[in-house]
Amino acid sequence: MEKTIFLILLIITSIPISHQKPREWVAANFDYYKLVLMWPNTFCSINQCGIYSVPLEFTIHGYWPDNKTILLEFCGGRPGRPAFDYGKVKHTLWLDLKLHWPNLIDPTSISFLEHEWERHGLCDTPNPDQNSYFSGAMTWKRNLDVTGSLKDGGVTPDDYTTVKVAKIKEAIVEKAKSLGMNYTPDADAIYVKCIKKNSDAYLSEIVICLDAYDSKIVMCHLRINECQDENVYYLSSPQNLK
């Protein structure tokens, strides 16, 4: 039951209704990656998480090859696009994935990584490789260190006080500057997702678009389910938001 809820949430938060029916197989030709980072305390506020200890840092929801005009997904069914094979993932990478890209519903299951690979990873390059794809996501997560970036920008988890969405974005841009990235974007290049409960908004995900061919943050297009609130709660612990 929990796995079903998890997959339903992924579908609802990742794809608009207009894209749910057509599944056109598109050759790997994309403009940028969407690095989608989820805040576990919010996720576990609306789902029954099975993980022993909820992570105190952003974890990866996905690393999605995408472009400006069409949502790329389900690029399987073409020669050279292999199904997910756990045995081919390097051991050291696998340990990193368990920590930074965990299945919060069932930490013993590989279904989440399998889902992400088959829905998004197979759109990565003409000959997608699991180790290259997952390593790319891990590299960007470490370099940007969103949890640490927010802390450096004066944004820390708090169950009782909201934070401005603009401040969250600005903290990430400051981190990009410190990395010497080729292009320092306007803060609006990044977008935030939130969960609504009554009149309150809770930070759920941060989406950062990264140029497919260069080390820089670029403007995110197709901003699906972007949070429209100016202020959000950045939870320090899971709450009952069901």
Q: Residue 73 is encoded by which pair of tokens?
A: 């997904």
CATH number of domain containing 174? 3.90.730.10
Q: What is the rounded CA–CA span in Å between residue 149 and residue 161?
A: 19
- Given the residues 73, 100, 115, 116, the one annotated as active site: 116
- Measured torsion, CA atoms of residues 48, 51, 56, 62, in degrees rounded to the nearest 10: -80
- In this prediction, residue 86 has a pLDDT band, given cuts at 50, 70 and 90, of confident
What mean pLDDT is predicted for residues 153-161? 96
What mean pLDDT is predicted for residues 45-53? 92
Does any domain span residue 19? no
Does any domain span residue 148? yes
Does any domain span residue 131? yes
Q: Indicate whether 13 pLDDT > 70.
A: no
Does any domain span residue 36? yes
What mean pLDDT is predicted for residues 9-26? 36
Q: What is the pTM of this model?
A: 0.85
Q: Tell me if residue 115 is catalytic.
A: no
Q: What does the chain come to in residues? A: 242
Q: Tell me if residue 61 is catalytic.
A: yes
Q: Indicate whether 68 pLDDT > 50.
A: yes
- The pLDDT score that the predictor gives to residue 10 is 46
Residues of the chain above pLDDT 90, percent: 57
Domain count, the chain: 1
Residues of the chain above pLDDT 70, percent: 85
Distance of CA 166 to the CA centre of its chain: 19
- Given the residues 2, 61, 100, 205, the one annotated as active site: 61
Helix (H) or strand (E) holding 241: none
Q: Tell me if residue 19 is catalytic.
A: no
What mean pLDDT is predicted for residues 15-42? 64
- Given the residues 73, 100, 115, 120, the one annotated as active site: 120
Does any domain span residue 97? yes
What mean pLDDT is predicted for residues 43-65? 94
Does any domain span residue 230? yes
Does any domain span residue 18? no
Does any domain span residue 102? yes
Quote the domain boundaries for residue 216: 2-13+24-234
Q: Residue 136 is encoded by which pair of tokens?
A: 């790319």
Distance of CA 198 to the CA centre of its chain: 25
